[in-house]
């Protein structure tokens, strides 16, 4: 059985009824995307370098953003780090990905703050558990039989003034030039839509 890699940055998550509701909300969202995802799989395949996926769900004060991407878009390679330089590159990328407020510029008036961020990745093989202040990380790793490696990053933001949330600028292109296109699935109480982002067009309008 393959182990999962898991990095976590949290401000102390306590599961509330509101959060449970959002989890159900997100589950329904992802279920609704099944048909779309099947079609996209036929078109692009399940692992396409240069292409990432963002699932964005917004309800109440909670904003959930899930990034899925081939590891090559982030690190430039998909094998386990083979030397100290590659090891540092992986660690630096993980630290950067956990900085959700750097990855996403959210309408300032909405006063959204990162509550927690988690990374599920195949690329942490050989890393040992670490503790840095309030950051808890449990890390193991694997790559699949085809040699592909993927990662998933989940961000939970809490917005003090959610009605002011109008747009999200996705800064991943600036930090990780391996991204050529990011396919966005957006769900809010008012709309459900799909958007394709590029380095020149990186804004999600809510």
Residues 6+ apart with CB under 8 A from 180: 50, 51, 198, 199
The label of the residue with tokens 């990662």 reads 151
Report the pLDDT value the prediction gives residue 138, as an integer from 0 to 100. Answer: 32
Report the pLDDT value the prediction gives residue 147, as an integer from 0 to 100. Answer: 58
As given in the structure block, the two tokens for residue 71 are 């590891």
Task: With CA atoms as reference, report the closest residue to 62 among 196, 174, 169, 159.
Answer: 159
Question: Could you give the CA distance from residue 24 to residue 4 in angstroms, rounded to a whole number?
Answer: 23
DSSP bridge pairs for 68: 53, 152
| DSSP state at residue 3 | P
Question: For each successive 10 residues of the chain (206 residues), what is the average pLDDT?
Answer: 47 40 49 44 60 96 96 90 90 95 98 95 55 34 56 96 97 97 95 96 96
Task: With CA atoms as reference, report the closest residue to 100 among 50, 151, 157, 62.
Answer: 157
Report the pLDDT value the prediction gives residue 123, as an integer from 0 to 100. Answer: 76
Report the pLDDT value the prediction gives residue 110, as an integer from 0 to 100. Answer: 98
Do 155 and 104 touch, CB atoms closer than 8 A?
Answer: yes
**How far is residue 85 CA from its own chain's centroid?**
24
Q: Is the dihedral of CA 57, 62, 65, 66 positive or negative?
A: negative
Report the pLDDT value the prediction gives residue 10, as an integer from 0 to 100. Answer: 57
**How far is residue 41 CA from its own chain's centroid?**
19
Report the pLDDT value the prediction gives residue 202, as an integer from 0 to 100. Answer: 97
Report the pLDDT value the prediction gives residue 131, as an integer from 0 to 100. Answer: 32
């Amino acid at each position: 059985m393959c182990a999962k890699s898991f990095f976590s940055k949290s401000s102390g998550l306590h599961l509330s009824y509101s959060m449970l509701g959002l989890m159900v909300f997100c589950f329904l969202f992802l279920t609704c995307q099944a048909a779309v995802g099947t079609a996209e799989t036929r078109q692009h395949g399940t692992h396409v370098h240069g292409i990432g996926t963002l699932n964005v769900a917004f309800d109440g004060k909670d904003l959930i953003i899930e990034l899925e991407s081939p590891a090559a878009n982030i690190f430039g390679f998909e094998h386990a780090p083979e030397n100290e330089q590659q090891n540092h590159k992986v660690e630096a990328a993980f630290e950067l990905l956990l900085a959700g407020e750097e990855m996403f510029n959210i309408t300032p008036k909405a006063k959204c703050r990162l509550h927690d961020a988690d990374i599920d990745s195949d690329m942490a093989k050989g890393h040992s558990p670490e503790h840095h202040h309030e950051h808890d990380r449990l890390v193991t790793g694997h790559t699949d039989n085809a040699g592909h490696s993927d990662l998933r990053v989940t961000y939970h933001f809490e917005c003090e003034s959610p009605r002011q949330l109008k747009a999200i600028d996705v800064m991943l292109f600036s930090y990780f030039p391996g991204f050529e296109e990011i396919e966005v699935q957006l769900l809010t109480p008012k709309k459900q839509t799909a958007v394709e982002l590029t380095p020149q067009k990186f804004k999600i309008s809510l």
